[in-house]
Amino acid sequence: MTASIYPSVDTCKSTDRESHTAVADMDGTLLIGHSSFPYFALVAFEIGGVLRLLFLLLLSPLAGFLYYFISESAGIQVLIFASFAGMKVSSIESVARAILPKFYSSDLHPKTYRVFSACGKRVVLTANPRIMVEAFLKDFLGADMVLGTEIETFKGRATGFVREPGVLVGLNKAEALKKALGETEPEIGLGDRHTDFPFMALCKEGYMVPHEQGVKPVTSDKLPKPIIFHDGRLVQKPTPLMALLTILWYPIGFVLAWLRIAAGALLPMPIVYYAFWALGVRVTIKGTPPPPAKKSTGRSGVLFICSHRTLLDPIFLSTALGRPIPAVTYSVSRLSEIISPIKTVRLTRDRATDASMIKKLLEEGDLAICPEGTTCREPFLLRFSALFAELTDELVPVAMVNKMSMFHGTTARGWKGMDPIYFFMNPSPAYEVTFLNKLPHELTCGSGNSSHEVANYIQRVIAATLSYECTTFTRKDKYRALAGNDGTVAEKPKVHAKKIMGC
C-alpha cells in the first residue's frame, strides 16, 4: 500500500460535520511533529531531573534504530521505559495535566485541526501512553475518547513496560477502535503513514495528512480555550539537540546562578544594576520613577503596584530604582528570604492583620506589592486584590516583563526555593521594568472611589501597557488547575468557574 490510496486532508470538507465522528492519529497527524521524544523528555526532566533526561537521551539512538529498522512498537517501548520506569503514576498525571498541554497546543496541525474540530464526536488513536496525552486531548481539544498505549504499574509506580496488547500501532489501533466503537462506522479517519491504514479502513472516509515543511501551528486564539496556567521548568520544547544543550548547560548555569545571586545579595543596591549587566542579566528601565519618600515631611511612602512574573519582581524593581524597596510576600520559601537582598514581610491572609502591617511599613518608607497574589507566565493579568487601594493614595503602577530562554523561574508544583536559581540559570535572563504615572488623586479611594474600582483601573492600565489581557482568575484558580489544591491549605477546594474579561 502507498499513501496515494487516500486523498489529502486538504480535500476533506469541514462543514456540516456536527453529527460526524472523526478518528485521528496523534504524532504527525493531529500534531505537526512526527517525533514524540520531546514529550517523553518533558516527563523525564520534570519528574526525574537532569539525570533522567540524560538517561533518556542516551537511549534515544537505540529507540531510533529499533523504530526505523525493527518495529515502531519496539522504539516507543524504549522511550517509555527510559522515561517512565520507577516514576509515580500521580507524578506522570500531574505533568500531563500541568505541563504537556502548553507544548502540545503549540504544535497543532492546522489542516487536521480544521477537520477534527468540525466534527461533533472526536476520537484520538495514539501510540503514546494514554496517561500522557489524555488530559490535553480531552480538556483542551474536546476529544470524547482517547485510545492509547496503557502502561504497567506496581504499587502506584510505572514499571516502564506496557500492558497487552502492547504499543498501539498498526493493527492494534484498528482493533482498539473496533472494540471501542463496536459496529459504529466513523465518518472520517485521519492519518499520516501507512501504519494508520488499518484503522482508516474502518472509516467511511480516509484522508492523509501530508508531510510538509514549514507548516505553521494553530494559533492560540483558535483553541477552544486559552492555556493561561502552565507549569514546568523548561521554556523550549526539548528536542534531542535542545535536551543535549540543557544537560551540558545545567552545571554551568547552576554555578553562574549562584554568582548572580551573590552579586545581588552582597553588593550595594546602587551598583547591582551594573553587576547584573556584567554577569549577563539584562535590566531595561522605562518611565520615570518617583523620588524616595522623606520621613521628615510625614508623607506616606509610595506603594509600588507590580504585575507579578516571578518572585524576583521586587528585587528587579529595587535594581531599577537603585535602592532597596521592602516587599510583602506570600508563600515564599525560607531560602528565598535568606538570600534576598531586600526586606521581605510575609502576609498572613488575615485582612485586618495585613492592612495594619502594610500601613506600618508605608510609614517607614516605600513598599512593593504584587496584588495578583501569584505569578502568571502568559500575557494575562490575574485579578488584583483590592486591599492595597484602601491603605494609601500614593500608588505607582509598575509593569514588569521578563524573558527566559531555557528555564522558567516559577513553579506551582515544585519547590519554590529553586525559583530564583532557575531564573538566574538562564544564559541571559532579562527584566523590563516600566514605571507608569502615579495614580491621580481623583482616581484613588481618597476621592471616594471604591477599592475595587481602583484595583481594576490599575490592572487595566498595566495590561494596556504590556498588551496583556485582564482576567478574573485568582491564585486559587491557578493552583487548582496546576497542583490540585488552592495554594493555601490542605483541604478540598470548592470548584467554581472563572471567565476572562476584557480590559
Does a structural domain hold residue 496?
no
CA atoms within 13 A of residue 31's CA, in its CB half-sphere: 23
State pLDDT tens for residues 225-274. Answer: 889 999 999 999 999 999 999 999 999 999 999 999 999 999 999 999 99
Read off the pLDDT of residues 113-147 as tens digits, 9 standing for 90 and up.
999 999 999 999 999 999 999 999 999 999 999 99
499, pLDDT greater than 70: no
Q: What average pLDDT does this structure show over 89-112?
A: 96
What's the pLDDT tens digit per position in 55-71? 999 999 999 999 999 99
Q: What is the DSSP letter of 439?
A: P
Range of the domain at 257: 250-482
pLDDT attached to residue 490: 42
Domain identity same for 278 and 190: no
**Who has greater pLDDT, 331 or 39?**
39
Q: Are residues 302 and 381 in the same domain?
A: yes
Amino acid at 310: T
pLDDT of residue 348: 82
Q: Note whether residue 229 is domain-resident.
A: no
C-alpha grid cell, residue 14: 469541514
Tally the domains of the chain: 2
Looking at 222, 242, 267, the residue that finishes a domain is 222
The answer to whether residues 204 and 292 belong to one domain is no
- pLDDT digits over 142-169, tens only? 999 999 999 999 999 999 999 999 999 9
Please check whether residue 232 lies inside any domain of the structure: no
Contact 73/166 with Cβ under 8 angstroms? yes
Please check whether residues 344 and 459 belong to one and the same domain.
yes
The secondary element (H helix, E strand) that includes residue 161 is strand 157-162
pLDDT at residue 337, as a whole number: 83
Based on the domain organization, do 458 and 330 belong to the same domain? yes
CA-derived radius of gyration, the chain: 26
Arithmetic mean of pLDDT, 73-80: 96
Q: Does an H or E element contain 327, and which?
A: strand 327-329
349 with 216, same domain: the answer is no
Please check whether residues 271 and 379 belong to one and the same domain: yes
The answer on 461 and 397 residing in a single domain is: yes
* Gap between the Cα atoms of 406 and 428, Å rounded: 9
pLDDT tens, residue by residue, 459-478: 999 999 999 999 999 999 99
Answer whether residue 333 is part of any domain.
Answer: yes
